Structure formats: C-alpha cells, structure tokens
Amino acid sequence: MNPLVRFFQAPQTTLIRRILFQIHLWFALACALYILVVSLSGTALLLKSPFYSWFEPKFLEPSDAEPLTGSTLKERMAEVYEGYTLGFTVEGYEPEEATYIVLQKDNQFIPHYFNQYTGEDIGPARPWPIQAVEWVAGLHYELGLPREQGRRINGALGLVFILMAVTGLVIWWQGKRRWWEGLIIVSGSTRSMLWQLHSFFGFWFLILIFAYGVTGYQLGFPREMAYLLEALGMNSGRSGEGFLGFLRDIHFARPGGQNPFARWAWIFVTSIPAFMIISGSIIWWRRVIKPRQNNV
C-alpha cells in the first residue's frame, strides 16, 4: 500500500507517525517546565490590568469634605510621612482619585497613595499582589535572566512550540474513519476524557501554539528571522508582514481590544499550553509509567 494512503487510512500503523509521536512526547516532557512558565506568566501579563484595578488603592470613596491642596496638602503629608523625604507628587485629576506621592528613604523610592480628604496614608501604590503578578509577568520576557540572554533562550525554545504544533497535527489525525473524533468530545468514546480534551484543544488552538513559537523566535532572534523571511521571499511583501502581524496579534492577545469579555477569554486561552503540557504528562504517566509500576 502507498505510504501516504496508508497514513491517510490507518496512521497508527506507519513508522513516520510513531517517530513523530516520540518526538512530540519527549520534547514536551523535556521542556514541560519551560512551557508551564511561559504559559502561566503570559496569562499573568493579561492579569496586570485587572490586578491594578483590584488592588491599587487609587480611588477614594465619595466625600463631601474639602480636599487638601497645594502647600496645605504638602504640610499634612510631611507630618504623616515623618522620616521620609517627599518626592514626586501628583494630585488626583478627578475628585475620586487619590494623591500619588513618591517617598524616599535610604536611597529607596516608595510610591504611595494619600487621601487628600482625610489626610491619611492609603497604602503603597504597588501592593504585594501587583508586585507578584509583575514579577511573574517578567518571567515571560527574560525568564529571570539578563535581558539579552533571556530573550534569546526564549526565542530558541520558541521553536519547541512550532515543533509541538507540527507534530501534534500529524498525531491528531486518527484516520479516514475517525478523524472527526478529534474535533469534538465524543460521549462513550474508547478514549479517556483527558485524552479527548488534549486532542480537542490541541486542534482548535493549533494556531495559538504556532503563533507563540514563530513570534517568540522572532522576538529572540529578529535578525535571523529577517534573513529567513528574505530567503523565503516574504520579507518585503505584504503577505509576509501581514501573516507575521496576524501571529503577533494572537501572541499579544490584541483581538477584542480592551473589551472585558475578550480579555477574560484571552486569559483562558493563554492558559491552554499549560493545560496541554499537564494533560499530556498525565496521559503519558497513565499509559507508560503506571503500568510498569503495577508490573513490578
């Protein structure tokens, strides 16, 4: 039988499918921690705005009192922040906005918010939940390493996402008679629910995984990507930039703009690579490791 026809009808019996399955499996396991970090830290990037609205003590309760302004405000802040040097100050542009003040002590700059109506300190402008999400988000760009080094490692490992997308698509194909099972969740399937979810999300969000890989590589190796596009004849054409622009929009969750529903949808979507690596690892453990343990 022709190998292509054989793959089309019964892919599990072909050598190329078995090889690609092993590549998909072992690269995923080897890079599992990295995929988890960049996936969850990417989600943290989208959570920065909600975290600021939830935890930044910027807005005040409505008050009928007259706010402190000008020198009177500065004098009151000097009393409240005794022992600190008062730095950059921004009075609220709207009545419900608190006054922003940067305090200095021991060569440290500490931003705070101040209630100009009650003359009281509200708290740090960047409380620990915001600092935590910013720290996690920072892992997404440089992995906690020096900027250039971190971005180049990110770019190189972006190729893993491309590999996962390509090999995953081949593995997803279950043959002419069963191909549709990978598109939906089938009740009563011989496959486990976790396996079906892994296949389902892997197919429908394939472009997401591919976009992360291509644009991640471009961010780490912009010059090399430009050479590659030029070699492919795509660098100067609208088609090349249009396609890369589309992938960048997906990577940075731009479709939908600032719409709250779209933002929360993207927060869910960006966590899918983490789900894929966790579900894939569990499936591997159940199929390979657990049976071996039971036979010992």
Band of the pLDDT at 235, cuts 50, 70, 90? low
pLDDT tens digits for range 1-32: 677 888 888 888 899 999 999 999 999 999 99
Q: Going by DSSP bridges, is the β-strand pair 120-124/99-105 parallel, antiparallel, or unpaired?
A: unpaired
Residue 163 and residue 67 in contact, taking contact as beta carbons nearer than 8 Å: no
CA distances from 278 to 30, 138, 191, 261 (A): 13, 22, 17, 26
pLDDT tens digits for range 74-124: 999 999 999 999 999 999 888 899 999 999 998 899 999 999 999 999 999
The pLDDT score that the predictor gives to residue 6 is 86
pLDDT tens digits for range 259-283: 889 989 999 999 999 999 999 999 9
Instruction: Write the burial class of residue 271 (CB in 10 Å: 0-12 exposed, 13-18 middle, 19+ buried).
Output: middle
User: In the sheet where 99-105 sits, what is the strand order?
Assistant: 85-90, 99-105, 108-115, 120-124
Q: Which residues contact 95 (CB under 8 A, 6 or more apart)?
A: 62, 67
Percent of the chain with pLDDT strictly greater than 90: 62
* Span 245-256, average pLDDT: 91
User: What distance in Å separates the CA atoms of residue 227 and residue 261, rounded to the nearest whole number?
Assistant: 39
Specify the DSSP class assigned to residue 66.
P
CA distances from 236 to 52, 225, 227, 233, 279 (A): 40, 13, 11, 7, 41
- Residue spans of the domains in the chain: they are 3-52+131-295, 57-125
First-to-last CA distance in the chain?
A: 40
Range list of β-strands (E), the chain: 85-90, 99-105, 108-115, 120-124
On the question of pLDDT at 236 being above 60, the answer is no
User: What distance in Å separates the CA atoms of residue 244 and residue 263, rounded to the nearest whole number?
Assistant: 22
The pLDDT score that the predictor gives to residue 186 is 81
Supply the DSSP string of 91-142, one letter for each residue. Answer: --SSTTBPEEEEEEETTEEEEEEEETTTTEEEEESS-HHHHHHHHHHHHHHH
The pLDDT score that the predictor gives to residue 189 is 78
The pTM for the full model equals: 0.80
User: What distance in Å separates the CA atoms of residue 290 and residue 188, rounded to the nearest whole number?
Assistant: 24
Mean pLDDT of the chain: 89
On the question of pLDDT at 44 being above 70, the answer is yes
